Structure 1
Amino acid sequence: MRDVPARNRTIAMTRPTGLRNAGIVALGVLGAVVLATGLRAESQAEPAMTKSEAVIKSHGFSHYGDLDYPEGFDQLTYVNPDAPKGGYFAIDASGTFDSMNPYSRKGRAGALSSMMYESLLDPGAPADEYGAQYCLLCESLEYDEGKTYVIFHMREEAKFSDGTPVTAHDVVFSHELLLEQGLPSYANAVKQRITGAEALDDHRVKFTFAPDIPRRSLIDQAGGVSIWSKKWFEETGARLDEPRMDTSPGSGPYMVAGYDINRRIVYERNPDYWGKDLAINKGRHNYDEIRVEYFADETAAFEAFKAGEYTFRQETNSKQWATGYNFPAIDKDYVKLETIPDGNPPTNVGFVFNLDRDVLKDKRVREALALAYNFEWTNESLQYGLFEQRHSFFQDTVQEAKGVPEGKELEVLQSLGDLVPPALLTEPVRMAHSSSADRLVDRGNLRKAMKLLDEAGWAVGTDGKRRNAQGETLDIAIPINSSGSPTMESMIQTYVQNLQQMGVNGEVQKVDPSQYTLRQRDRDYDILFAGYRTFIGAGTGLMQLYGSANAEVSLFNPAGVASPLIDALILLALQSEEKETETAALTALDRALRYEFFMVPAYYKADNWVAYFNMYEHPETMPPFAVGEMDFWWVDPGKADALKAAGALR
C-alpha cells in the first residue's frame, strides 16, 4: 500500500497538517477491521454462529480488514525512533482568542487548545495509511461481526495530567457530555447511531449501535471521542458549551503551561506522560515546548517570522511564497524552504453561496454570480501562476466524476429513480468555467451572466443596478476577516468588482476576527470564501457536511445544502459492502454536488509550502498524508545552539 502514488489512492479523509487547518473540527474517519487469521478461521469454522455473534478482537479498526501494522508492531515505519527530545517549536496565529475551550460555539478558542485530549483510538497516526486507526487509550477492542456493539479494553496505566486514572467512566461521561452540550449537528447524528454507552468496569467500556443503519463509522466514531476528566467537570461545574480560560486535565503528551491573551499560548510536554513508551508513540512528540505566537494580521506575522519570533511557517500565500522569502535569514541559511508533496486531496475551497438567502435559491442567479470569478486572471496576476483550477469535490482521486456517468456509477444513479434529474444521466459533469487570463473582466462570461440575471427577473435599471419586480436591488455582501492575507483580500475585492460590472450591488465587509467567527457560525452572509472539509470515504461525517437533517445547524455545511438525492447517495456509500460500490456511490455524489452548484470552486495546489529555521529535522522519507511538523519532527540541539549564538532567534 505504501508504494502506491498518493494521488491515485482511494482516500478517506484529510487530516489537518498545520495550524491553518487546526480550527477545522475532525468529523470522523473511514475505518476497516483487521481480523487475525485465527479469529477469521474460527468464525468461519462454526456455521451455527450468526454474523452478529462472531466476536472479533483487534489492536485497531479498519472497515475492509486491511490494517498495515500487525499486532505487536514496534514503531510507525516513517518515524525516527531515536529522535532527540527537547527544544521548542513555534508557530503563528492571526487575530485574537478569548477562550481555551475549543468545543464551545461561543467565543474564539485559542489555537491548538484541543491538543491535550486523547481518544480511545489514535486519530493522528499513522500518516502513511488511510482508513485505519490503532489503539491509544485502549489496548484492544472487540465487536461482533455485525457491528452491533464494540467493547474497548482500556490501558490501566493511562492517566490524566493531574495524575488521576483515565477510566471507562470518563469515556461514558465524555460521550454523554457531547450529546448534552456539544454541537447540535454532532449530537443529533450520534444519538441516531449510538444507542448506549456503558462502563462495564473501570477499564472496559461498551458502545451499542442502532439497528437498521449502515455499519460505517460506528466503531471509529465511538473510539474517536476526546476523553475528559469526569472528576474535574463535576468539581468545577464547567460546561462544554461555554467559553472559559481554565482547561481540564488531559491525558495527552502536552498540557497548557501558560498564556497571554491575544499574544501567546505555551504548551509543554508532560514529563510524566503515561503513553510515551507505546509503540505508536515512538519517535513522536519530541519538543519540550510548543508555542503559538499571535499577531494582528498576516503581514505582521510574516515580519515576525523573518525576525525569528517564531520558527515554522506553512505558507498559503502564493505571492509571499513567490516573492517574500528573500530576507537575511534566508541568505545566511538560517531558514530553509521546502516543498513537501501532499497526498491528501485538496481542500474544497471557493465562494460558497448561502442557500438560506432567497435571492440565491435560483440556480440561474448563482450561475451568473459564479461567472464573475476569473480564476485564470487571478492565478496569473495575484497568485503567480502557482495554483490549478479545482473542478471536483474529490479532485485528483478515483472518486472524481468525469464526462457522462457510465458503468457502476450509472447503475448507482439509475437505482435511485426519480430522485435523479435526467440531465445528470445524459450530460457531462459540471466543470468550472474558463475565463481569459488577459483581463479581469471576461466579456464573454459577462454577457452570459447578464443574460442569466435577465432571465431570473433581475433587470438593469437606468442607474445600472439590477432590481427585481418589487424594485429591490440585487445585494451581495461578502464578509472577510481583517486579519487575513492581503492576497486573499485582493482576490475577493476583484471578484466583487466583476459583480458590480454586472449591475450587482456587491460589497466586501471587512470585520474583526471575533465578528467574522460569529458571522460564520450564524451563517450571516450572502457569499463566504470558505471550504468543505475533504472527506472522501463513506463516513458519517458526510452527513454533517452535506446531509439534509443537519443542514440548518451544521457548522460544516456553510451553504446549507439539503438535497434528497445527496442524502440517498451518502446512504448508498455508507451501505456499500465492497470498495467498487463505495467508489461508484461517491463518484455519483461528486456529480450530484457539482450539479446542485452551491459553491464556485476556486484554486488548489498539490504540495505543502513550508519555511522553517534549520534546527528542525524530519524523516528522509515523509509519509504521504501529513507534514507532521508538530508530530514526528525534532530539534537538532547543535543547530539550535548555533542559531541562538548567531542571534537568529528571539
Structure 2
Amino acid sequence: MTRTRKALFFTALLGALALPTTSSQAATGTDTVTPQHGIAMHGEPKYPKGFSHFDYVNPDAPKGGTLKLSVYANGYDSFNPFDIKGIAAAGITTYLYDTLLESSADEPFSEYGLIAESVETPEDRSYVVFNLRKEARFQDGQPITAEDVKFTFETLVNKGHPFYRNYYADVADVVVEGPRRIRFDFKESTNRELPLILGQMPILPAHYWKDREFGKNGLTPPVGSGPYRISDFEAGRSITYERVKDYWAKDLGVRKGRFNFDHIRYDYYSDDNVALEAFKAGNFDFRLESSAKNWATAYTGPKFDNGSIVKESIEHHRPAGMQGFAFNTRRSVFSDPMVRRALAYAFDFEWANENLFYDQYTRTDSYFENSELASSGLPTGRELEILEPFRKQLPDEVFTQEYTPPSTDGPQGLRQNLRKALELLRSAGYAIKDGKMVNKETGEPLAFEMLLFQKSFERVVLPFKKNLARLGIDMSLRVVDSNQYVQRVRNFDFDMIVQTIPESDSPGNEQREYWYSFNANVTGSRNYMGVNNPVVDKLVDMIIQAPSRQELVYRVRALDRVLLHGYYVIPQWHLTSDRVAYWNKLERPKVTPKNGFDLNNWWIKP
C-alpha cells in the first residue's frame, strides 16, 4: 500500500504563485534544458506527456464507501513519520502527503509530475529543477511553494530520521529561483538517481510548522497535501482517514482512478490470530496473509464457499529482496564470518517448508531475489571485471564458489550439514567441552538470543534452536511487544532477528542505508547487521553512479556476491505472489502491474 516500493521514507514541501520558467541554464551556463513531464532512471519514461491515467488503474472507478484494515502492532504514539522518535500511525505518509513526482508501478524506475508540473535536469544530472503546479495546495488551502520544498528538505536533513541525511547526502545546495521553481545542485554529477529520489520527497507546509517544534507535535493531526486527511482517531487503537473531496490533484494522470474510498480506517491488533478471526467475522475488509499455515488451513468455511470472502494469490514480478535470520556482527559472538557461515547449516529449510509451510515457499539465495539483478554461478565477463580490483580484499570463494544456502536434500540430510557446521566451528577456534560449544581461547560458550515480536514465528525458530543444541550452541528465544522490538532494533540491541531487506528494480541511494560502514553504528539506520566493509562501500558507490541499466545490473550482481559471501544472514524464503483475502464488496483493476497489487487502486462495488 505504499506510494512506491522504492521510497520507504519521505520529505515535505509547500507551494506556489508565479508561472514556472520554461528552461534553465546547465552548470556550464551554456546548455538549455527542456522541462519534461517525467523522468526515468535509465532511458525514457513509458507514459507520454498529458497521459490520462496509468495502464493498471480503472479511470472510471467509482468513489465511495469505507475500507476497513487492520494493523498488527501495539498501537502508535505519533502522527510524525519523519522523526526517529515514537511509532507513527499507519497510513500517514501514504495518505497525508503528496510528493513532487509520482512513481509508476509498471516500470523499473520512472516518475511523473505530481506537485511538480515539470522537471529539468541536464544529461550529466548535475542538478535538477522542479517547476511546481500553480494549483498545488495544502489541505488548508495554502498554495505549495518552492519555499515549502526548501523547508521540507532542510527539516528532514537536519531534524528528521537519520535516513534522510544519507539519502540526500549528495545535495550541495538548494536554491529557490521563484515562487514555484526550485533547484537542487549536486556535489557530483555521477549520481543519476538523485533527481528521482528528490522527486519522492513528501512536501511539508512551512507555515504549519513555523510555530511548532518538529519532533513534538505528538497526536495533533498535521496539515498535509495528499488525497486524505485524518478525520478521527483513538490514540494507539485506531485511525480513520477521510477523502479530500476537493483534492487538488484528483484529475491528474498520476491520480486518476486511484484513492477511491471515502474513508480508510485502521484498527490495531496485538494478536494476529485475533485479527484473522476479526477479518473472517467482517470487522475489516482486506488481509494480506504472511503465514503459510494460515493460508493453507484457516481460509475455509461457508463465507469462502459462497464467495462472500475471496481468497486469491496475486502474482507479482518485483524483487523479493532478502528475508533471513540476521546476525548482529557488532556482537563478538558473530564477528567471525566462519561462525556465521557454520550456523546456517543448522537451519533446515526443506523440513520447514514441508512440515510448516505446506511447500509454498522457494529458498532465497540472493539479496535481489526474483529479478535480473540477482547473481548466479561464478562471476564472469563484466561482473568479474568489476570485482577483480578488490580480489585481495575479498574471500577467495567470491571468485571460486557459487553461493548456495545449505540444503538438507540428499540421503544424509541434516546430519551431513551438522558435520559441516562442526568442521567450520573448529576452524574458527571452537570446540565441544562438557556438551557445550566453547571458544578454545576464552572458554566462552557460543550462545545468543533470538529476538522476535511475532509469537507465530516461534514454530520456525524452535526447530532451528533444537538443531543448534545438537552442536552444543545455546540459542535463547525472547518475544517482546512490537514497540519494544522497534526500539531495540533501532539501537541494535539484539543478537539475531528475523529481518526483511526489501529491494526495488532500481537500487540506488538507499543501499547506503543498508550497507555503508558509516551507518553501521548510526542509531536507527537500516544497516541492521553492522556491515563494515570498504569493498561494499565502493560497490554501493558504483551502483549509485551506474551510467546505464545494463551496467547497473552488473554492479548490483557484484555487490550481491560480496554480501552473500559475507554471511550476514541465514537466508529464508520468498514468494512470487501476494496471498490476499478480501470481502467481495471490494473490486480491483483487471491489470496487475509488475510491482503487484496496490489497494489504492481498488474500489467498493456500487
Contact residue 228 and residue 248 of structure 1 kept, 8 A? no
Q: What code does the residue aligned with 2:178 have? A: D
The within-5 A match list for 1:137-536 is 137-191=115-169, 193-211=170-188, 214-235=190-211, 237-240=212-215, 242=216, 244-416=218-390, 418-425=392-399, 427-436=400-409, 442-464=414-436, 466-481=438-453, 484=454, 486=456, 488-536=457-505
Contact residue 233 and residue 248 of structure 1 kept, 8 A? no
For the pair 1:575 / 2:545, whether they are aligned, the reply is yes
Q: Distance in 1 between matches of 2:27 and 2:341?
A: 56
Residue 347 of structure 1, CA deviation: 3.0
Aligned to 2:79: 100
CA separation of 1:438/1:349 partners in 2, compared to 1, >3 Å: closer, same or farther? farther
2:100 aligned residue (101, 120, 136): 120
Q: Distance in 1 between matches of 2:10 and 2:335?
A: 28
CA separation of 1:473/1:420 partners in 2, compared to 1, >3 Å: closer, same or farther? closer
Residue 76 of structure 1, CA deviation: 1.3
Contact residue 124 and residue 190 of structure 2 kept, 8 A? no
CA separation of 1:586/1:25 partners in 2, compared to 1, >3 Å: closer, same or farther? same
Q: What code does the residue aligned with 1:620 have? A: K
Q: Distance in 1 between matches of 2:455 and 2:601?
A: 29
Q: Distance in 2 between matches of 1:620 and 1:581?
A: 34
Q: What code does the residue aligned with 1:276 have? A: K
Contact residue 459 and residue 467 of structure 1 kept, 8 A? yes
Residue 417 of structure 1, CA deviation: 5.4
Write out the 4+ residue segments of structure 1 that deviate beyond 4 Å after TM superposition. 15-18, 48-52, 436-439
Aligned to 1:25: 8
CA separation of 1:105/1:345 partners in 2, compared to 1, >3 Å: closer, same or farther? same
Query: Secondary structure of the equivalent of 1:57?
Result: coil
Q: Distance in 2 between matches of 1:17 and 1:121?
A: 11
Aligned to 1:129: 107
Q: Distance in 1 between matches of 2:71 and 2:191?
A: 39
Contact residue 455 and residue 479 of structure 2 kept, 8 A? no
Query: Secondary structure of the equivalent of 1:569?
Result: helix
Q: Distance in 2 between matches of 1:85 and 1:174?
A: 31
Please give the per-residue CA displacement for 1:403-423, whole angstroms capped at 9, x wherever unaligned: 211111112222445444443
Query: Secondary structure of the equivalent of 1:91?
Result: strand
Residue 611 of structure 1, CA deviation: 0.3
Residue 380 of structure 1, CA deviation: 0.8
Aligned to 1:640: none
Residue 54 of structure 1, CA deviation: 4.1
Contact residue 388 and residue 605 of structure 1 kept, 8 A? yes
Residue 59 of structure 1, CA deviation: 0.5
CA separation of 1:326/1:194 partners in 2, compared to 1, >3 Å: closer, same or farther? same
Identity of aligned residues (%): 33
Residue 437 of structure 1, CA deviation: 9.2
Query: Secondary structure of the equivalent of 2:553?
Result: helix
CA separation of 1:163/1:294 partners in 2, compared to 1, >3 Å: closer, same or farther? same
Q: Distance in 2 between matches of 1:56 and 1:419?
A: 45
Uncovered stretches (5+) of structure 1, i.e. residues with no partner: 1-14, 29-38, 638-650
Q: What code does the residue aligned with 1:148 have? A: S
Q: What code does the residue aligned with 2:323 have? A: V
Aligned to 1:8: none
Contact residue 56 and residue 589 of structure 2 kept, 8 A? yes
CA-based RMSD of the aligned residues comes to: 2.5
Q: Distance in 2 between matches of 1:578 and 1:387?
A: 33
Residue 49 of structure 1, CA deviation: 11
Query: Secondary structure of the equivalent of 1:114?
Result: helix
CA separation of 1:127/1:580 partners in 2, compared to 1, >3 Å: closer, same or farther? closer
Aligned to 1:33: none
Residue 16 of structure 1, CA deviation: 4.6
Q: Distance in 2 between matches of 1:27 and 1:285?
A: 19
Q: Distance in 1 between matches of 2:464 and 2:519?
A: 30
Residue 248 of structure 1, CA deviation: 1.8
Please give the per-residue CA displacement for 1:143-162, whole angstroms capped at 9, x wherever unaligned: 22222221111011111111
Query: Secondary structure of the equivalent of 1:279?
Result: coil
For the pair 1:592 / 2:575, whether they are aligned, the reply is no
Contact residue 27 and residue 126 of structure 2 kept, 8 A? no
Q: Distance in 1 between matches of 2:9 and 2:137?
A: 24
2:528 aligned residue (558, 564, 579): 558
Q: Distance in 1 between matches of 2:538 and 2:294?
A: 43
Q: What code does the residue aligned with 1:370 have? A: A
Contact residue 108 and residue 505 of structure 2 kept, 8 A? no
Query: Secondary structure of the equivalent of 2:254?
Result: helix
Query: Secondary structure of the equivalent of 2:436?
Result: coil
Residue 52 of structure 1, CA deviation: 7.5
Q: Distance in 2 between matches of 1:62 and 1:415?
A: 31
CA separation of 1:430/1:417 partners in 2, compared to 1, >3 Å: closer, same or farther? closer
Q: What code does the residue aligned with 1:129 have? A: E
Contact residue 468 and residue 474 of structure 1 kept, 8 A? no
Contact residue 52 and residue 148 of structure 1 kept, 8 A? no
Residue 391 of structure 1, CA deviation: 0.5
CA separation of 1:525/1:282 partners in 2, compared to 1, >3 Å: closer, same or farther? same
For the pair 1:605 / 2:575, whether they are aligned, the reply is yes
CA separation of 1:27/1:472 partners in 2, compared to 1, >3 Å: closer, same or farther? farther
> Which range moves more in the overlay, 370-379 or 539-548?
539-548
Contact residue 10 and residue 93 of structure 2 kept, 8 A? no
> Which range moves more in the overlay, 179-188 or 357-366?
179-188
CA separation of 1:513/1:538 partners in 2, compared to 1, >3 Å: closer, same or farther? closer
Residue 454 of structure 1, CA deviation: 2.5
CA separation of 1:68/1:406 partners in 2, compared to 1, >3 Å: closer, same or farther? same
Query: Secondary structure of the equivalent of 2:319?
Result: coil
CA separation of 1:420/1:437 partners in 2, compared to 1, >3 Å: closer, same or farther? closer
Q: What code does the residue aligned with 2:346 have? A: A
Q: What code does the residue aligned with 2:77 have? A: D
Number of equivalences: 592
Residue 301 of structure 1, CA deviation: 0.4
Query: Secondary structure of the equivalent of 1:275?
Result: coil
Please give the per-residue CA displacement for 1:555-611, whole angstroms capped at 9, x wherever unaligned: 222101121111222222333323322221111111111111101110111111110
For the pair 1:620 / 2:590, whether they are aligned, the reply is yes
Q: Distance in 2 between matches of 1:636 and 1:149?
A: 46
Q: Distance in 2 between matches of 1:582 and 1:350?
A: 25
Aligned to 2:16: none
Query: Secondary structure of the equivalent of 2:343?
Result: helix
Q: Distance in 2 between matches of 1:602 and 1:280?
A: 36
Q: Distance in 2 between matches of 1:621 and 1:161?
A: 32
The within-5 A match list for 1:28-67 is 53-67=31-45
CA separation of 1:528/1:243 partners in 2, compared to 1, >3 Å: closer, same or farther? farther
Aligned to 1:9: none
> Which range moves more in the overlay, 543-552 or 264-273?
543-552
Please give the per-residue CA displacement for 1:94-126, whole angstroms capped at 9, x wherever unaligned: 122222222222222211122201110114xx2
Q: Distance in 2 between matches of 1:355 and 1:562?
A: 9
Q: Distance in 2 between matches of 1:86 and 1:614?
A: 15
Residue 396 of structure 1, CA deviation: 2.9
Uncovered stretches (5+) of structure 2, i.e. residues with no partner: 12-21
Q: Distance in 2 between matches of 1:49 and 1:402?
A: 41
Contact residue 299 and residue 485 of structure 1 kept, 8 A? no
CA separation of 1:409/1:277 partners in 2, compared to 1, >3 Å: closer, same or farther? same
Q: Distance in 2 between matches of 1:384 and 1:243?
A: 47
Q: Distance in 2 between matches of 1:17 and 1:179?
A: 21
